[in-house]
Chains A and B, each alone.
Chain A
């Protein structure tokens, strides 16, 4: 029964270790120089959607789950894949690719669910695969070209050159706060 152990311990331990380190750093920074602008490198989690690399700040991410059972919710709006459970809590799973207006894909072996917390609610974000947890320096990020408008450009606040690849940095509030009707996406 594979779904009895839904989370991948190596993934989540790594994330927690990073999250703790960041937390400690934040606290140290806050006590040392409260007025300093937040230009330190921030910790992000990078993942793939339709062969593009995206990144979300690590803070709201609580866990990374392997995809086991996602229960379909009849008549749910399009990007909602269904619901799954995490330690007795039923959480919705949103296909982040569909949410960003990317073409539909089916979940594969490398697919993961990022469980993020937003205003006390847990939200599962389905991604094609998780790459790494990494510090990205916002000063080195560039604003996305203004004349390129895609369905996902509303969500992308910056682009970042990471080696040979381009990382699209997502706006955490737009990605996690889902007040607007979802079927509009």
Chain B
């Protein structure tokens, strides 16, 4: 395949995927609209399909062209259809959307040209047509021409993610240089104060430095924003899940969303999408009761799944709420593999244990008891957490907390045995000096008494083989993640820094307790601690140093 054509095709595919998503979203909201806006939506659907058909024709893709045409016919007249005909028409059109996705997916999977002497196209076709690839939601592009790499006419350009990653790396380097320069300026000013004639010059340097620092900060901010996409892109998929699953379960459910413009790091989009998909599916299948049960409880027969997204301080918070029957605690506790293994005061957290399900029967969609533990695992690996609240008869709320950005990590610097480590601040509850009277030993394990709780100690030196015994002096940092807690013991706490995450080469293995590395202002490389695996490490045993 000619590289230029391949590039055109990649562009067509990503645009086709967008149009397909858009048509699907419009279809899913067609039934709820009044007559006037229904006509408007049908028109918008036809416009999207028409453009798709035209572009497919230009690309020489008759199957897609024919399918788009067929769909156009299918939505014709839907705006004035009777409710039953409307519902049937929507289902048929949704089937068509699925076929369209399959076709686009097959095209994306076509391998690059065999034995082509030219270098392959720099941008391979997007392997997942359903993933929202562009930065920002695309407004209706009526006659967007197929210009490789660009979408003109609406003041936007398309930029491959790789280019943004390069910017982030460069920006990381300036952060290191800035700190180094700052040190040099401080040294220079001190020297000038101690009796040289150049004090004025140093003041000028220092002023310029401060101005530079402010603009670097703004630059960093904007670059981080470039790597963010609005969550909205995920909502279409969720709407479809609610639609399909409630049909399958014979339930009447509405999906209410808020905060679609909330930005999310594109590196977290997949994690967020999978987690929300699980939670929304669960809410439909387990959370919300059948219309009959609801009426018997005096609730409206249509249930509501509410999805809310917002940025709260340094994280993105995603709430999935259902107004169903709530989680059956008794059943949950009966199912728990080992009731004594509950490490938490909150019995509700049992829902995240593998093998626990609130449903008696497993089917294709849910009930195998792995979903929620998988959700929790993937969110925690991405540096976030999930928690749950439930009110019997009133419903449940699952909340996903995700970091706002994956490139800059606000961290606590810790010293232990001459090594420095960065611990992501999001997982830190508190830091304190070790007091001998709060240290105890329970069954050979060393523990810290803290606010009426007994926490297992984890000496960082013991965990990383830099010490031979657990220390009695120094500092403890309380790390909490989900239901697990450790009091991490170190020699000292050296402050809080915004650090740039640098991944480690796979050759160093996958060290337990370490998630990556970063470069400090003085050029030293330090390890970034991984809270999720730290809290899973066995607590330090009894032998004191």
Contact = CB atoms under 8 A, between A and B. Distances in A.
| A in complex with B | yes
How many chain B residues sit at the interface, stated as a range, is 20 to 34
B527 A69 contact: no
Interface in A73-125: 73-77, 80, 83-85, 87-92, 94, 121, 123
A92 B173 contact: no
B504 A75 contact: no
Contacts of A69: 523-525
B511 A74 contact: yes
A88 B180 CA distance: 13
Contact of B507 (A3, A4, A123): A123
A74 B522 CA distance: 22
How many chain A residues sit at the interface, stated as a range, is 20 to 34
A94 B508 CA distance: 9
Contact of A92 (B466, B507, B523): B507
A79 to B, nearest CB: 9
Given A69-B525, A74-B465, A85-B523, A121 B172 contact: no
A148 interface: no
A1 B523 contact: yes
Nearest to A75: B511
Nearest to B172: A88
B464 interface: yes
Given A4-B180, A83-B517, A88-B169, A73 B523 contact: no
B509 interface: yes
B417 to A, nearest CB: 10
Contacts of A123: 505, 507
A123 B504 CA distance: 12
B504 A71 contact: no
Nearest to B465: A74
B463 interface: yes
A1 B517 CA distance: 21
Interface string B169-204: 100110010001000000000000000000000000
B181 to A, nearest CB: 11
B4 interface: no
A174 interface: no
A84 B526 CA distance: 9
A84 B509 contact: no
Interface in B139-172: 169, 172
Contact of A73 (B172, B180, B508): B508
Contacts of B527: 71, 73-74
A74 B173 contact: no
A88 B168 CA distance: 12
Contacts of B509: 73, 75-77, 80, 182
Contacts of A178: 507
Interface of B: 169, 172-173, 176, 180, 419, 463-466, 502-505, 507-509, 511-514, 517, 519, 522-527
25 contacts: A4-B523, A6-B523, A69-B523, A71-B524, A71-B525, A71-B527, A72-B419, A73-B514, A73-B527, A74-B513, A74-B527, A75-B464, A75-B512, A80-B508, A83-B517, A85-B519, A85-B523, A85-B525, A88-B173, A88-B176, A90-B503, A90-B525, A92-B505, A92-B508, A94-B507
Interface of A: 1, 3-4, 6, 69, 71-77, 80, 83-85, 87-92, 94, 121, 123, 178, 182
